[in-house]
Chains A and B, each alone.
Chain A
Amino acid sequence: MNGAKIRQCIAFSVLGVLTLAIVVPILLVMVYIVVNGAGAISWEFLTAAPRQGMKAGGIFPAIVGTILLVVGTMLFSLPLGVLSAVYLVEYAHDNLFTRLIKLSVVNLSGIPSIVYGLFGFTMFVILLHFGTSILAGSLTLAIMSLPVIITASKEALESVPDTYREISLSLGATRWQTVRYCVLPYAIPGILTGTVLSLSRAAGETAPILFTVAAFYLPRLPRGVFDQVMALPYHLYVISTQVPNIPLELSFATALVLVGLVFLMNLVSIFLRAHYRKKRLW
């Protein structure tokens, strides 16, 4: 073997080990959660409300709460995020104003989630009188999700070849028709990926929902958007730290359900992505 080949061998080994080093912790976490929590998962656990000060019963209200929050977050953040990205990529000129917007988007993603929580509390709960509610929580989570959705959508739109736009415009299509028929369809896979990524994060966040929606103990389903709900991450926090003498198994089972929910969302996005990729013919 000559020097170049040896160097290549070493480089490959180092890169391989590093890659493995990423996979191992994830696997360990998963295995640990499954091993410790799987025993407590039962039909009752998934479909019943908590009983006896959360020491028994299930986590159904928290599952429903988290799903409602994710859907609510998506309703606000997806249209707003995608349309902002369309504006920035397809319409906006490069000037001070748009640079300010882009800078804000980047900076928004660096804000700690507890700050979003405080903002949501003062803005939606108090100032707009939404109270501690699904609406306030969804809006708070939506604002937190926006930067990732905008950034991912922007990149997806920018990766659509400019020739598609030129073809469409040269045939007399208007700008909006061009975006609608020749750009967005090809950007959807990328937009989906970014959206699901940020929604997964929203599903698992505790801080933003702490003051805006999450109920400590509410063993019933919400009656409307102005109702509080329990949510999986906050419930997990509560039973792990706030209530004494709760079997550890219950915490791990709750974690397992949360991780499973996020995993399910990712799975849906993978299928959607594959579906839209198939539409593109080449």
Chain B
Amino acid sequence: MVDAIIKTTDLNSFFGSVQALKGINLEVQRNEILGVIGPSNSGKTTFLRALNRLNYRVRSYSQTGEILLDGQDLKAIRDNVLRKKVGIIFALPQVLPVTIFENVAYGPKVHGLTHREQVDWIVEESLKKASLWDEVKDRLNQPAVKLSGGQQQRLCIARTLAVGPEVILYDEPSSGLDPISTAKLEDTMQQLKADYTQILVTNNTKQASRVSERCAFFLMGELVELGPTDQIFTKPQDKRTDDYITGRFG
């Protein structure tokens, strides 16, 4: 087995009395793109948000089991330190109502970077890595909301990259985007592969098959099957996986 960056052991999640995740055992390998597919309410997003503890924003949330990041229990890591390491891209592009520059510079600033030149450099590097620099370099001081949806989503990626994460979570990142913007986003993800571990939750099974190397199929809070993407899409081991990817439900 290759180096696992994230390991969940018997992870159960609850919102009040409703169980959203049932005994998830899963390993995410360093620098892979892991696709997570499944119908609505299958626990994909809950799984994703468990990895940076955003679920705990919901007061009724509780969780049992263990999640390890680099061998360290998440419970032992302070939330702000964890979220610096594990970034997330939300379903709809969510930018702050400030300039393009300030959106990207926000993270570095809260982490204590004040030196103007360093911030400039990080903003430029992050925007380049998110394949957005060429499109925005002349208008960094314009409101971020003026960008198109696809650009905003890549801006969100740049903003996440700016705090120097190890893992990037994507929560249905192209659900609000047109096919061309989606293709650009997927290109960006491929370019980030060298340096980051990425987990992509998507409703779009085709996207998972295009982008991911391994794929996990969630159904009703259970991890039904996890395997190389080729195998999941051509020779699934479980009848339910087969039913889902061939479009019999979901």
Contacts and interface: CB of A to CB of B under 8 A. Distances in A.
A94 B59 CA distance: 9
A163 B96 CA distance: 9
A187 to B, nearest CB: 13
Contact of B83 (A93, A169, A186): A169
Given A186-B97, A281-B145, A172 B83 contact: yes
Interface string B84-112: 10011010001111110000001101110
Contacts of B163: 171-172
A171 B106 contact: yes
Interface string B137-159: 00000011100000000000001
Contact of A167 (B52, B94, B99, B111): B94
Contacts of A174: 80, 110
Contacts of B145: 281-282
B57 A166 contact: yes
A117 to B, nearest CB: 41
B194 interface: no
Contacts of B98: 281
Interface residues of B, number: 30
DSSP majority for the A interface? helix
B59 A282 contact: no
A280 B94 CA distance: 15
A177 interface: yes
A164 B83 contact: no
Nearest to B159: A171
B239 to A, nearest CB: 37
Contacts, number: 70
Contacts of B83: 169-172
A172 B84 contact: yes
A94 B57 CA distance: 13
A173 interface: yes
Interface in B115-132: none
Interface string A255-282: 0000000000000000000000000111
B135 to A, nearest CB: 18
A93 B59 contact: yes
A240 interface: no
B160 interface: yes
A168 B54 contact: no
B80 A172 contact: yes
A91 interface: no
A93 B143 CA distance: 34
B81 interface: yes
Contact of A173 (B57, B87, B110): B110
A172 B111 contact: yes
A188 to B, nearest CB: 13
A214 interface: no
Nearest to B99: A281
Contact of B81 (A167, A169, A172): A172
A281 B84 contact: no
Nearest to B145: A282
A280 B145 CA distance: 11
A174 to B, nearest CB: 5
A232 B32 CA distance: 73
Contacts of B59: 93-94
Interface in A165-194: 166-174, 177, 181-182, 186
A177 B98 CA distance: 16
A170 B87 contact: yes
Contacts of B82: 172
A169 B107 contact: no
Most buried by A among B96, B144, B163: B96
A172 B110 contact: yes
Given A181-B106, A282-B145, A167 B96 contact: yes
Contacts of A166: 54, 57, 90, 94
Given A164-B96, A169-B80, 12 more contacts: A170-B83, A170-B87, A171-B163, A172-B80, A172-B163, A173-B80, A173-B106, A173-B107, A174-B80, A182-B96, A281-B144, A281-B145
Nearest first, the 3 A-B pairs at minimum CB distance are: A281-B143, A172-B84, A171-B107
12 contacts: A166-B54, A167-B94, A168-B110, A170-B52, A170-B90, A171-B110, A172-B80, A173-B107, A174-B110, A177-B110, A181-B110, A281-B99
Interface of B: 52, 54, 57, 59, 79-84, 87-88, 90, 94-99, 106-107, 109-111, 143-145, 159-160, 163
